[in-house]
Structure 1
Amino acid sequence: MTKNYTPSLESDYRQCQSLIRQHSKSFYYAFSTLPETDANAVYAVYAFCRMADDAIDQAEDAETGIANLRQLEDGLDAFVAGNMPQAPMWRALGDVVDRYDIDESMLYAQIRGQEMDVHFEQPKDMDDLIHYSSHVAGSVGKLLLPILSDDLSQERKANAEKLGIAMQITNILRDIGEDMREHGRVYIPASILNDYGCSVAQLEERKVDQAFMDAWEHLAREAEVLYEDFRKEILHYKEEAQLPLLVSLSVYREILNEVRSSNYDCFSKRNAVSMTRKMKIRNEESQFLKNIKDA
């Protein structure tokens, strides 16, 4: 543990670490190899985003969800004003803000994104979906940027946001069944479903046919273009962050291939990347970095 952490702060970070280890094995696998201070910062940002997500998804009804978000936003208002709420996540996040040039407006964007789920409407088109995804996931990319890179230019921020959007689209494609079953939400834009002749009723029936696969693949290609574009960004990041970031990107991208391998069954199972495949991805990305640096 970094020597200028207090024992209390060490404990706060460990609680944040336990959240990411429990809820996002892919992110933890990728980012746990960062230098300790940077890894802890990632854990704290994740813990805030997890709290915002749980405020809605674990609420019994919309009214409770909104009340949970208002309580979180009240805590954020106090945090930004310098009145630290006395809870592990806030204390850890306070240390992160002291160490890095965090854009606190992205914490508010995260809350606004969760509000969209309370008043949920199926996206009409890709613009709607990108608007939503930029709040709930693009904001995460911008929050992590100053932890992982010393270049905080507008170009870097825009591309970090796009990576978050790609990951959110991947989540949507993985969780179609879960989102419908547990939350009554369909995130695939209506225009895309209509273009391929796939209806919401068909999704409710868990019918996997060519129309569904074509609509699914349309959205998957949108994510894969963003993933591929981001690879060109990697040398703008700290050297010690380059491999963890590429591993994170490629493990998430591999979720799409897992769905394909299961014949597009994203209704009855949660497709995941095996540890064996994750280890292979790490080796592949390590070789990729070596090649582009030797070129």
Structure 2
Amino acid sequence: MRKTSFAIIGAGKVGNIFAANLYQCGYKLVGVASRTPASAAALAEHFGVPWSVNPLDIVRKAEVVFITTSDRYIENVVRQIAFSDGWCKGQYVYHSSGALFTDVLIAAKEQGAHIGALHPLQSFAGTKGKKNYLSGVYFAVDGDTQAIELAKTMVRDMGGHSFFVPPDKRALYHAAACIASNYLVVLVHNAVNLFQKFGLSGEEATTALLPLLQGTLDNLANKGAEKALTGPIVRGDVHTVAAHLQALDLTDDDIEKLYRQMGLYTLRLVQQINSLEEPQIEILRKMLTDKNGGRYE
């Protein structure tokens, strides 16, 4: 079966990944547009296709157009192309935002295009142009019926998995993704800062923590979140939690606050899995809630 032709608007990390992985699957890249000439040229020349800083120059050549710019530019790009009657009837137009609805593409729909959202649930730091990177990845899809069906086909061809996120749950979906990815990085950064206080460099601390993180991810994959949870709160080890709080109180007030909030959420999970008796939970809750009156001696 003939694969559809496609164009990329936005030659950053996501645009590069989409181009490399779709091209590898037999889809024909016909053009690249980007605000930055250097990035557009670099991606286009890699595949031997035309490039431009004006999206109107490349969209009419493609059956499918991926808008992989930053979220704040998507609607303006679509409207600018529509202003010059640039969208074609029967064309497919997708954005790759995890948070935005498909209504930012409405100007393309008004000119007869099918519109959709195709967001890979993956981090793209340091992955520019990497092949096979989307294999096994889950994609949140949305759009009109035709756009969703084609999106599912492209995802399947790239070795990924698709799932539907309704418009009214889009922000919730993206918030969950940020918690799992962005905030994990923030948590590790906090741990690295603490390691540096007893002599390790940031690089050494990160290297030391990576096996622990990988082990945790393996446990999540093999056991699920509830059974993967370990640590002093799960065990009801109040003496250890007290020592943590005391050390953090003397070291970093912001990280102590974060520890308390994460600890309280951990207690909610502990209650769900019934790993502690209620009196132990109450002692830990008081310790984590009341900085002055909740110390355990």
- How would you bin the TM-score normalised by the shorter chain? under 0.3
Please say which structure displays the higher CA radius of gyration.
2
Could you say which structure has the higher strand fraction? 2
Could you say which structure has the higher helix fraction? 1
Higher relative contact order (CA 8 A, sep 6+): 1
In the superposition, the TM-score normalised over structure 2's length comes to 0.27
